[in-house]
A and B are shown apart, each in its own frame.
Chain A
Amino acid sequence: MRKTQKLLHKVADLKIFSPFKAVFETIDGIVYGTPHVTPGAPHFLDHIEIKRFMIFAVVALIPTTVASVYFFGVHVLWMILTSYIVGGIVEVSFALIRKREIEEGFLVTGLIFPLILPPTLPLWAVAIGAFFGIMFGKEIFGGTGRNIFNPALVGRLFITMAFPEIMSARWQVPFVDTITSATPLTLFNAEGTLTGLKELLLGVGLQTGAGSMGEVFRIGIIAGGIFLILAKVTDWKIPIFYLGSVAVFSWILNMVNPQVAPPAFQLLSGGLLFGAFFMATDPVTSPYTRSGKVIFGVMAGILTVLIRSFAGYAEGVMFSIILMNGMTPLIDHMIMENKYRKSAL
């Protein structure tokens, strides 16, 4: 055992800190990894566990986070800080009351949540959304691993419904302080104007509001997503089938009815890339069966195109992922049932 770790344990054993045992256990876990050794097969060579797993996801989010600070200024940092503080307080207080270890899910949720918000959202709205998402999206179900819906999306859905005027008229043009109510998607729905693909990809040179903070620097999102897939933290099936189904479905609809945006624009606008790589792949709220992942991706893609083209909202990624989160247990159940019946026959 390393000296620093011994010191940490000594401090943690002090009587004054006994109510905060969970906090120390978490620090211990993040810094030193788990000491547990499996007594029988299967053995894992690397002691990867949920904490390190989550840290990979945070690393993958770094490019798009840095880019959003670069595009929209310091307010972004305050929003991330608010989300972490509020989410952390809820998480830690639940862990202390329920006397169990602090779960690290909020490291990722706390960062993803501000990234899917409009860049000029006031901090109190961020705080309400983070509180609500962690509390009603996660803790009341029993914490990380037991939630049905993605907590960050629950938080965003709540403030979208609670404060519609703030959420729909707060889009900022990158590098400029202009606030507008149009994003590339709303602009297309209203006037049929297509924003250039190069501008969309880099987030530079946009004349309209760009969208949520994290979805603007799309190269960074794609890089982060590929990193997660290569590191085997997420599975490639959900993002690929999600994006593929959006492309195919919008291509068909676009031939029938030109009022539906063409596939390339669909793929590069709105929160689709961010949602596909970072939110739909959440291991807790997406299916664990392989064919289930394919169904999840395809259905989410169809829903996204349908909501974008025919519903009252310009963006459908949030709703489609939340709806599919609700379907996840059903999909897994059907797949397992099917398999067992086949092998029994």
Chain B
Amino acid sequence: MAESKSIKTIMDGIWRDHPVFSMLLGICSALAVSNKVENAIAMGAGVTFVLVATGVIISLLRKIIPRQVRMIVYMITIASFVIIVDRVLKAYFPEISDSIGPYVGLIITNCIIMGRAEGFYVSNNLGQSFLDALSNGFAYTYTLVAVAAVRELLGFGTLLGFQVMPEFMPKWVVMSMAPGAFFVLGTLIWITRTISGQTED
């Protein structure tokens, strides 16, 4: 059965060309903010919002952006929306904003957004770009939440702030530090690549 273009776009985004698992994009922030599930959700939502907004703007403007300055246009678009996300977090979720602090600003440098803008939005129409942005954002978010769930369970014994593990369980301090993120993300990539049969030469 030939799948329609929209289905293909969505499937590529959330599984086949998964930004974290198969392209290893955006892992810097995936490692940094995945220590607690609420941070992961906030970060995932922020990245998804910026992705969708950028996708819409760039795909609408793609015919009138001069080739020579397209990178700068992406940069300005992304930066504007990142500032919006930063302000909203500061205003309504000050605690989350404090704990993920500088990483919100660093969404600007998240390679997923730049990569999708250059690789997809600038050459596809509005509808496809919107779907692509949503599915990539979703893929990034579920990866982050999966890593964060493991790390929060072992590192703090909680899930979304609720005590899940029994109190006497010792906390794995290493899981709330950066090395823990490397182990969990590495194992996750290992599992997904084994499932999808994807190998690198």
Is B179's CB within 8 Å of the partner chain A? yes
Q: Nearest chain-B residue to A161 (Cβ)? A: B174
Q: Which of under 10, 10 to 19, 20 to 34, or 35 or more describes the interface residues of B? A: under 10
Q: Within the assembled complex, what's the spacing in Å between the Cα atoms of A162 and B172?
A: 5
Residues of the A chain whose Cβ atoms lie less than 8 Å from the Cβ of B190 = 140
Q: Within the assembled complex, what's the spacing in Å between the Cα atoms of A166 and B170?
A: 9
Within 8 A of A (CB), among B151-201: 170, 172-175, 177, 179, 183, 190
- Distance between B168 CB and nearest chain A CB, rounded to angstroms: 12
Q: Are B175 and A162 within 8 A (Cβ)?
A: yes
Residues of the B chain whose Cβ atoms lie less than 8 Å from the Cβ of A162 = 172-175
Q: Within the assembled complex, what's the spacing in Å between the Cα atoms of A166 and B177?
A: 18
Q: Are B177 and A163 within 8 A (Cβ)?
A: no
Is A39's CB within 8 Å of the partner chain B? no
Q: Nearest chain-B residue to A163 (Cβ)? A: B170
Is A158's CB within 8 Å of the partner chain B? yes
Q: Nearest chain-A residue to B175 (Cβ)? A: A162
Q: Are A161 and B173 within 8 A (Cβ)?
A: yes
Q: Are B172 and A163 within 8 A (Cβ)?
A: yes
Residues of the B chain whose Cβ atoms lie less than 8 Å from the Cβ of A161 = 173-174, 177, 179
- Distance between B154 CB and nearest chain A CB, rounded to angstroms: 8
Is A164's CB within 8 Å of the partner chain B? yes
CB < 8 Å neighbour of B174 from A140, A158, A165, A166: A158
Within 8 A of B (CB), among A158-174: 158, 161-166
Is A319's CB within 8 Å of the partner chain B? no
Subset of 12 A-B contacts with CB under 8 Å: A136-B183, A158-B174, A161-B173, A161-B174, A161-B177, A161-B179, A162-B172, A162-B174, A162-B175, A163-B173, A164-B173, A166-B170
Please give me the 7 A-B residue pairs with the lowest Cβ-Cβ distance, nearest first: A162-B174, A161-B174, A162-B172, A163-B170, A162-B173, A164-B173, A161-B173
Binding site for A on B (CB under 8 A): 170, 172-175, 177, 179, 183, 190
